[in-house]
């Protein structure tokens, strides 16, 4: 094999390897989008039962301070949905607000901050307090909120900042027990998946073409075939005179 053909085969193999990686990642992202999305297009978590004998459940800080959306609509970054269903007889309240506002609202109030361990199981961090909080729906600092006896959902377009999700009984009484799930929707997942599949397909075609030309053999010259430029007329030999 000539050095030129060797280069073609090696380059084609590299393109094929890159293509396989891109196609696998793109396929996984596309599969996640298709199988883990709800009818509204949100990638949803499992539903967890959360319970506390205090006044409220809060998420750990959602630090989105590095997010920049000056030139894009917020919904083009991500949209978050949090759903909560009361497991008792009291309507549930769910809202999201700036962390500083929620901290001020719950100052001196007993509540439970929910974090997640490495196994994706909820872990409760108890915050001590003796004060009774005001009715949550009467507060004016919520970015979005909802309350009711039926399952409630809030939808929020991601913005820069530090945020906290709060769930409590709508009348601010203690003993909160709810089923909770969360979801996120972003157009970038599909865009990235389609882009990876497209680039992967292009790399696969390129690699296949390079390997084809690198491995192709020229057809052998037929034995006995006339050499170009030579005459096919028979040679006449001079015979002996009679």
The CATH number for 106's domain is: 2.60.120
Q: Is 28 within a domain? A: no
Helices of type H across the chain: 3-35, 99-105, 187-215
Q: Is 221 within a domain? A: no
Q: What is the pLDDT of residues 152-163, one digit of tens each?
A: 999 988 888 889
Q: What is the pLDDT of residues 12-55, one digit of tens each?
A: 788 888 888 888 887 777 776 666 666 677 777 788 899 999 99
pLDDT tops 80 at residue 193: no
Q: Is the separation of the CB atoms in 175 and 89 below 8 Å?
A: no
How long is the chain? 242
Q: Is the separation of the CB atoms in 13 and 212 below 8 Å?
A: no
Please list the residues that pair with 182 across neighbouring strands.
82
DSSP string, 135-177: PGGG-S--SEEEEESS-EEEEEE--SSEEEEEEEETT--S-EE
Domain count, the chain: 1
Enumerate residues 6+ apart whose C-beta is below 8 A from 152: 83, 84, 85, 92, 93, 94, 146
Q: Is 175 within a domain? A: yes
Rounded to two decimals, what is the model's pTM? 0.65
pLDDT given at position 32: 65
Q: Is 199 within a domain? A: no
Residue 86 structural domain = 45-186
pLDDT tops 50 at residue 66: no
Q: Is 197 within a domain? A: no
Please list the residues that pair with 177 across neighbouring strands.
51
Q: Is 176 within a domain? A: yes
- Which 8-state DSSP code applies to residue 57? E
Interval 185-214 mean pLDDT: 80
pLDDT tops 80 at residue 237: no
Please list the residues that pair with 185 across neighbouring strands.
79
Interval 163-188 mean pLDDT: 89
- Which 8-state DSSP code applies to residue 76? G
Rounded CA-CA distance 52/177 in Å is: 7
Interval 213-217 mean pLDDT: 76
Higher pLDDT, 71 or 179: 179
Q: Is 217 within a domain? A: no
Residue 185 — pLDDT band, cuts 50, 70, 90?
Answer: confident
pLDDT given at position 34: 66
Angle formed at CA 59 by CA 56 and CA 60, multiple of 5 degrees: 130
Q: Is 166 within a domain? A: yes
């Amino acid at each position: 094999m000539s050095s030129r053909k060797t280069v073609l085969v090696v380059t084609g193999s590299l393109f094929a390897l890159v293509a396989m990686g891109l196609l696998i990642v793109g396929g996984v992202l596309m599969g996640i989008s298709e199988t883990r999305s709800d009818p509204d297009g949100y990638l949803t978590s499992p539903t967890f039962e959360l319970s506390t004998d205090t006044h409220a459940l809060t998420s750990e800080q959602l630090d989105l301070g590095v997010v920049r959306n000056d030139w894009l609509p917020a919904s083009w970054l991500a949209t978050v949905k949090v759903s909560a269903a009361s497991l008792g007889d009291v309507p549930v309240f769910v809202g999201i607000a700036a962390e500083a506002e929620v901290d001020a609202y719950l100052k001196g109030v007993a509540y439970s901050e929910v974090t997640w361990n490495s196994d994706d199981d909820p872990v409760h961090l108890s915050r001590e307090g003796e004060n009774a909080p005001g009715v949550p729906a009467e507060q004016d600092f919520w970015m979005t909120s909802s309350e009711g006896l039926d399952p409630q959902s809030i939808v929020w377009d991601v913005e820069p900042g530090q945020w906290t999700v709060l769930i409590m009984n709508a009348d601010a009484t203690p003993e909160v027990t709810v089923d909770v799930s969360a979801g996120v929707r972003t157009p970038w997942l599909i865009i990235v998946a389609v882009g990876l599949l497209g680039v992967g397909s292009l790399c696969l075609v390129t690699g296949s073409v390079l390997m084809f030309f690198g491995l192709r053999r020229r057809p052998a010259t037929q034995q006995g075939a006339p050499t170009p430029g030579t005459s096919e007329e028979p040679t006449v030999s001079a015979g002996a005179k009679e």
